[in-house]
Structure 1
Amino acid sequence: MKKIFLSGLLASMLSGCGGSDSEPTSNTAPTLVGNLEQEVLALESGIFTFTLDDKELDNITVTTSNAPHWIVNTDKENTLTITATPDLLAVGEHTFTVTLSDGKDRADYNLKISVKDNPEKWEEIDIHYDSLVGGWESQDKQAIFAFNSAQQGVSILNNQFTYLAYENEGTDAPGFYKLNCYVEKFECGEGDLGRHAFPFRIIAQSDSKLRVVFEDATEHQQVTTLTKQESPQISKTMQYHVPSNGYINYENLLMGEIDFEGQSAVLSLNINQQYFGGTHQLDQALVRAEIIDNQTVSIHNDDNKVRYNDYFSEPTSKKLTHYIFKHKYNSLKLLYSSDDYAVFDIEISRELSSAEGFSGEISDDVKAQIEATFVSENSISVIASAKKTANMTPEQGKKYVSTFYLDNDIESILSKRSRVSYFTIIDELSSKIELGTLFQNPVEKEAMITVFDAKLAIEYQGINTEVDFVKIANNNDTFLASHAVEGYGETYSRFLSILSEVNDSINKESFINRSFKGDSGSVYEFSETTLKIHKTASTFSEYKVIYQDDGSVIATQCPQELVNNMCPEEEWSTTQYKMVQESLNHVVIHEQLYLGDVNMSNVYKMTKL
């Protein structure tokens, strides 16, 4: 490296001490003269020249390190020439080192070359679909793609999910299509997945990289370079939830945990299969598995307790034969994994459930025809991380709403567990909670609530419950995660519910003549007298509404007058909607559904239309 010798001072010291008359010779490291930051267009050639200088006129040797493969350098007659011929995969900034040496000293120079995109030279290239199978990500992980061998895929763009199918046979426009059915259940029509074209062009490719052009959720064109992930592995401490079916704020969506110490996981995965004569349904499959090398899993089908109903239409007589089946999970492959997401490819087949059998007598021939339809299917599924957060701390004197369960009756079945909806922290020693169960309307109770270590601690009747504040990867809201609940004979780790401060000044005018879109894709249209819930663009259900003094609205199809906001005929439900918070683009709704003795409580967010 550069060295500076204080030769004059050294000489005078030697002279004063009677030293030698000969003076040591100093050396200066060679220098590179020129602009160390350059730009070049992809698919173009850039030539950059630099002057090599050595004070002592020594011969200069030039070497480079960490230079991209498209960089060539030549040095001649004290001139260094660097030629850059980058392709589209090189778009971005590249820094490498040029080292100059005169045999005595050396100097390092960092050169930065910015490769700019060149849209005028984009050309779509044809590639074989098999080369896409696996997981891909951009450098900033804001664009993630994963594809399985069954020509299914998913894109995660700025934490927004789009499920994809690739079609190249029997179609006039081969390419990728969005499967809106995955994220908006009402689009799962008869034999239709709600396909819409997904513009996705590949303009450059190598063994491990793709340069792609696509549209984001707002239909704006994006271009980025994707790198293939080799040997994906799940994070060792991954708590997760399943975000992709649209019901992220409902209490039927639970939070699981992958236990690496015990080498086991109960994975709740979305599967999209044909049921009921070709209609596609999105279900959550519970897969108990063993983790091997943090990467592959061995499935335990013996633990599968979930049963499904379907029917078979005989080809000749058209007679319907109803039957019950269960899923057999043949394989589970990890396509992509990061700190925030894991993408699985699950292969599923059906098995007749011998325990329940058929709805009536059927011939062996019909049974054989039914079993012949049980072909293996693949389904791609995403789980998103759920992590504790201390970003939100409830303030004293303010009212909040969520749905979480106390540990006072942790061993009880879900319908008997104590459920909190609203709570207010008055001071360090006093709080109020609204407490109920599935069969008891909520009433206000005294409790003590403290906040510490990203937890909400509730003491009620001498028993403590700790509820975590949680952020999930694809959502900016804060959730509360309460303790395990039961479902389908399996135990989940946590149950998630959105947490929101309550604005009690919101009144009925916030509903009248306004429309909101739910996570499932359904549109809620309120008027002064009715609520129309649009399941599709052409179908809707209509309810009469009764606005309440507290600003909430009750909707029902009950044919009689309501009694205490309940329908006298128990088979008819009533639903009470209360808007508890409103922002620029969204509202938070507390929904209470009453059906006979049952009352259900949910808190969720809707988009303003």
Structure 2
Amino acid sequence: MKKLLYLLPLLCFLSACSGGGGGDIDTGGGGVQPPPNSAPTLTGTLSFEAKAQTQTDTVYTLVDADGDSISAELVNAPDWLTSSVNGDQLTLTAQPGFFDISNYTFEVKLSDGEDTTSYEFGVSVIDNPEQWGNITPSSDLLAGVWKLENSEDGFHFLENDTGVYAINGELNPFSWNDVEGLKLNVMPVGCTVECAAINELSIVIIAEQDNRLRLAITEGSDTSIVTVEKMTESGSLADTYLDTSASYSGALSVIDKETSIAKLMIKSAVRNKLGNNTHLNSRTGPIIGEYEQMGDKFVINSFENSAFATLDGRFNERSNSMQSHYVNIDLVATQIKITPSFYNHAVYEITYGYQLATDIAPLTPSDLIDYENVTLEETLQQRIQSQSLVIALEPAATPVITAGKSYLGAPIVYDDASILPSLGITFGGNTYQFVTSTEGAVVVEDFDTKQPLEENFSWLYIDNSLALTVDGKVSEHRFYTFPDGTPGMSQERPVENKANWHYLYRFEELVYQPVSEEDYWGTFEDTFVDFFAEKQVDKLTFNADMSGFYVRDILSHREEDGSLSFMYKSGCGELENFSECLQRLKDNNDYYLFRNLKLNKIEGDKYHFMYRLIADGPDENYGYNFQSRRIYRKLSN
């Protein structure tokens, strides 16, 4: 019995050492080691969906084997996603908007105060048509450049209910209205009014946030959902712009960024109404002004010169309606906005006013009325707008010129604005024969004698430009690259009482390909098209019987060199042909005008012609001897 009582304390001591009864473990060194901690976990699918513009709660079960409290932390989660823990439940609350539609990944870190466990989650935000808005469009909201998300395409809304549609590297004009939602009519280039739309887009503005719009765009039976972002800061201006109507030549604008002076050649269709005369004018003119940056635009309010064109209107005296007066009125730019647009383009938006250019004393502008009883004073207070699309140009090295070859290029210009008066040419490009490495001649054919007329020049390169000297006068030309890669030769032409006119002409070797008489027959359209023009350019049709059409019926005539001359039939007798009619008009010292086209090369559907316009008459101030080029697109044989 004594032996058993003696062993009992020893047995109790051995039981505690083995951890029985929940006691600590003796490490043999006198310390105590706790049992290992269990890390927290959760159960559930690690990806979920959330609808835009709606709250979505996703609940997960938290597990901790030791019964410890668990906290949760979100890492790299979007702002609209939050978490909360209540007991053993983790709730992820998503409240995304329409501009958050996408796929996201983030991390959830669980902690019991000792150990952490990380999980990678995924959430897909999906559209929610039931919550779509229908925001009313307006000019104030839409005006500007809107780019499609992750794209270089988009819409450029202008302030006069027109715009530029950019898609897949191509640009088209559009008109828009907000009468019943937002409607866009995407038009052919150069025909914004009198042609059928290429596409008709119905647009619903689903949501707006921080210069972004969510759009539902319907074309036919297809609807696509896109996000566009407004370019609130302007891109940089290029140094040089060319109007996009250019084919063989174009108006050139130059931006001086150091002085903030813009020398703009504005080529723009301007609709204006003066007196009882209504004009639709495609005008080109130089305007010089100082610009300042305003948001996404560069704005000119201060001008060195602003007269764009001089127009005439007929007005009657208010007190004597039978007494009429023809009044000259200057169309004057009052503001120009330059907005960088898509694919290296920019848009000029020009606002014009009228300025009286004729002395009407002792009458005043309120004394004269038009046929609608609108006074001249009210006319002078009118404001009209136009727009022009231009593309940035890069300077080009002076092309290599080979002696013994002929080239087409910009005209040589004298300081008095005459263009080689000895050759009788009043306007247009020149044909250059570079005879040697320093000498050459401008060559023009005398249309009556068919003999060449020449004006000799010397030439050399000066600071990356071509200098041509005639009679001691230097005409200097810089070079740029046309959008299609062709070298362009610039020309600056002084105009009396106006800023210089600045043009770019294609510079290329003159080569006459073999062509046949049949190549002339068919219907052609000019590739020289104003982007925002209201109606298509007139078609030109030549028939094998020498009839044809250009604005109205024409008579044509094949010259000895194979070219075609043509004139309007309206000035000719019913039985007269071209030659008989022209000769009669000359013999009678009557007015005449005819054109001549000589085909020199064909590139696909583009036909390159040398172009002449010759006119004369009894008035010594009436007369043209114009040579240039035309690039036509052949539509049919």
TM-score bucket of the superposed structures, by smaller chain: 0.5 to 0.7
**Residue 164 (structure 1) aligns with:** 175
Secondary structure in structure 1 of the residue aligned to 2:152: coil
Shift of 1:154: 1.5
1:199 equivalent among 180, 196, 201: 201
Instruction: Confirm or deny: 8 A CA contact 2:251 2:502 kept in the other structure.
Output: yes
Change (3 A) 1:509 1:116: farther
Partner of 1:546: 557
Report if the CA contact (8 A) 1:306-1:326 is conserved: yes
Over the aligned positions, Cα root-mean-square deviation in angstroms equals: 5.9
What's 2:415 paired with? 411
Distance verdict in 2 for CA 1:178–1:147, change over 3 Å: same
Q: Paired residue for 1:126, among 136, 150, 165? A: 136
Aligned to 2:376: 370
Partner residue, 1:591: 611
Partners in 1 of 2:376 and 2:142 — Cα distance? 34
The answer to whether structure 1 residue 556 and structure 2 residue 561 are counterparts is no
Residue 255 (structure 1) shift: 0.3
> Pairwise mapping of residues 90-129 of structure 1 onto structure 2 (< 5 A)?
125-129=135-139
- Measure the CA separation in 2 of the matches of 1:108 and 1:488: 79
What's the counterpart of residue 262 of structure 1? 259
Distance, in Å, in 2 between the alignment partners of 1:106 and 1:424 is: 85
Q: How far off is 1:350 after superposition?
A: 1.6
Once residues 107 and 334 of structure 1 are traced to their aligned partners in structure 2, the CA distance between those partners, rounded to angstroms, is 57
Corresponding position: 1:511 with 2:539: no
- In structure 1, which of residues 603, 606, 609 is the aligned counterpart of residue 633 of structure 2? 606
- Which amino acid in structure 2 is aligned with residue 265 of structure 1? A
For 1:457 and 1:108, the matched residues in 2 are separated by: 71
What's the CA shift for 1:257? 0.8
CA displacement at 1:601 relative to structure 2: 0.9
Aligned AA (2:310): R
Paired residues of 1:420 and 1:435 also in contact (CA < 8 A): no
How many corresponding residue pairs? 544
Distance 1:131 1:347 in 2: 20
Where does structure 1 lack aligned partners over 5 or more consecutive residues?
1-29, 535-539
1:219–1:516: structure 2 CA closer, same or farther, 3 Å change rule? farther
For 1:82 and 1:42, locate their aligned partners in 2 and report how far apart those are by CA, in whole Å: 13
Moved more, 370-379 or 314-323: 314-323
User: 1:59 deviation in Å?
Assistant: 8.4
Give the TM-score of the pair, scaled to structure 2. 0.64
- Partner in structure 2 of residue 141 of structure 1: 152
1:264-285 Cα offsets, whole Å, 9 max, x none, are: 2233343633225445444346
Distance in 1 separating the partners of 2:330 and 2:123: 58
Distance in structure 1 (CA, Å) of the matches to 2:273 and 2:120:
62
Change (3 A) 1:305 1:85: closer
Normalising to structure 1: TM-score of the pair? 0.66
Distance 2:614 2:522 in 1: 25
Q: Which secondary structure state, in structure 2, belongs to the residue aligned with residue 130 of structure 1?
A: helix
CA contact (8 A) 2:72 2:84 kept: no
How far did residue 224 of structure 1 move?
4.4
Kept after mapping to 2: 8 A contact 1:31/1:100: no
Distance 1:586 1:37, change over 3 A: farther
Task: Report % sequence identity.
Answer: 13
- 2:213 counterpart SS class: strand
> How far is 1:480 from its partner?
1.0
Alignment match of 1:272 (pick from 267, 270, 273): 270
Residue identity opposite 1:256 in structure 2:
S
- Aligned residue type for 1:373: T
Q: Equivalents in 2 of 1:589, 1:44: separation in Å?
A: 65
Is the CA contact 2:52–2:96 (under 8 Å) kept in the aligned structure 1? yes
State the shift of 1:416 in Å. 2.3
Instruction: Find the aligned partners of 2:398 and 2:69 in 1 and give their Cα distance.
Output: 65
Whether 1:497 and 2:517 are equivalent positions in the alignment is no
Q: Name the amino acid aligned to 1:510.
A: D
Question: Which residue among 383, 386, 389 is the counterpart of 2:392?
Answer: 386
Structure 1 residues 160-239: aligned runs within 5 Å: 160-162=171-173, 164=175, 166=177, 168=179, 183-184=190-191, 199-207=201-209, 208-212=211-215, 224-232=226-234, 235-239=236-240
Q: Which of 527, 539, 546 is the matching residue for 2:543?
A: 527
> Residue 289 of structure 1 corresponds to which residue in structure 2?
289
Aligned to 2:354: 350
Give the letter for the 1:376 counterpart.
Q
Give runs of aligned pairs for residues 270-349 of structure 1, distance below 5 A.
270=268, 272-276=270-274, 277=276, 278-284=278-284, 286-293=286-293, 295-300=298-303, 304=307, 306-312=309-315, 321-334=325-338, 340-349=344-353
Q: 1:446 to 1:346 in 2, by over 3 A?
A: closer
3-state SS of paired residue (2:368): helix
- CA positional deviation for 1:78: 12
Change over 3 Å in CA distance of 1:317–1:412 after alignment to 2: closer
SS in 1 for 2:492: coil
Aligned-partner residue type, residue 381 of structure 1: Q
Q: Deviations over 1:168-203 (max 9, x none)?
A: 4xxxx7865769799349x68xxxx99999534133
Segment drifting more, 40-49 vs 337-346: 40-49
Distance 1:459 1:395, change over 3 A: closer
SS in structure 1 at match of 2:380: coil
Q: 2:52 and 2:460 mapped to 1: Cα distance?
A: 58
1:302-332: CA deviations, max 9, x gaps? 6637422122468995875421112344433
CA distance in structure 1 between the aligned counterparts of 2:419 and 2:43, rounded to whole angstroms? 78
**1:238·1:385 contact (CA, 8 Å) conserved in 2?**
no
8 Å Cα contact 1:202/1:213 also seen in 2: yes
The change in CA–CA distance for 1:580 and 1:485 in structure 2 (over 3 A counts) is same
Mapped to 2, the partners of 1:498 and 1:37 lie a distance apart of 61
Residue range with higher mean Cα deviation, 253-262 or 153-162:
153-162
| Residue aligned with 2:265, SS | strand
SS at match of 2:419: helix
Letter in 2 for 1:554: S
CA displacement at 1:40 relative to structure 2: 9.1
| Paired residues of 1:268 and 1:286 also in contact (CA < 8 A) | yes
Write the letter of the residue equivalent to 2:190: V
Describe the shift of the 1:443–1:132 C-alpha distance in structure 2 as closer, same or farther (beyond 3 A): same
Q: Is the 8 A contact 2:307 2:333 kept in 1?
A: no
CA contact (8 A) 1:449 1:458 kept: yes
The whole-number CA distance in structure 2 between the counterparts of 1:430 and 1:565 is 45
Q: Would you say the 8 A contact 2:283–2:309 is kept in 1?
A: no
Write out per-residue CA displacement over residues 500-559 of structure 1, whole angstroms, 9 at most, x where no aligned residue.
Answer: 67560232322213443543521122211346445xxxxx31222233565532222374
Greater Rg over alpha carbons, structure: 2
Asked whether the equivalents of residues 386 and 470 of structure 1 are also in contact (C-alpha less than 8 Å), the reply is no
- Tell me if the contact between 1:177 and 1:198 (Cα under 8 Å) persists in the aligned partners: yes
Distance 1:34 1:174, change over 3 A: closer
